[in-house]
Structure 1
């Protein structure tokens, strides 16, 4: 998979940020929210949703780069049973937007959260 780079111009020079950086930052921010079991990935072979390990959680994140150097983020997650889904999604959107902007300086246009599964216990 080719790594896409986003280019930022600062007063001290140019900064290139790879898509791997965005997916890792985003995945970590989302999974640190209370009620998130982890990132999800739907297998094309069996159609099942799988809980991703920390080292491969980037598969549950899709980043779209815009020409104005902003990004839109799509997250696929697995949540714990019994959490307030609306409150959880608001928390994830706020946290991801804040962490990505704070860490990279890139504006986040949108964060879409897809709950692919819920686990009990």
Structure 2
């Protein structure tokens, strides 16, 4: 399903993959993040994704109000406080997705699936 924005000049369609790419690229720039993990990492099998595949660690859902709900699956550094890294990721992802798509983000959830040294 594509996200559609309309105005007087026409219509813009944005794929969930495009939003996931924005979220993943933004998260990867945050201090304390080792990388993105595949969503299925919650079953005990952790896969560190390459930068090209990092959007596989992001889930994008549109709620009934047309706002975005973004879930990220990440691997963080062991020496950094997890809550600080997560808060930084949430803030950066929300800002960049809203800035680049003009869509409102209702919630960003950071799922820490592993901690690495």
Q: TM-score, normalised by structure 2?
A: 0.92
CA distance in 1, matches of 2:45, 2:64: 35
Question: Where is the helix percentage greater, Structure 1 or Structure 2?
Answer: 2
2:8 corresponding residue in structure 1:
11
Q: How far did residue 43 of structure 1 move?
A: 5.5
- Of 47-56 and 70-79, deviating more is 47-56
1:47-82 alpha-carbon deviations (Å, 9 max, x no partner): 410100011111110001123321100000001111
CA root-mean-square deviation: 1.6
Matches within 5 A, 1:27-106: 27-41=24-38, 42=40, 47-106=44-103
Contact 2:34/2:75 (<8 A) preserved: yes
Unaligned runs of 5+ in 2: none
CA distance in 2, matches of 1:26, 1:50: 18
Give the total of aligned pairs. 116
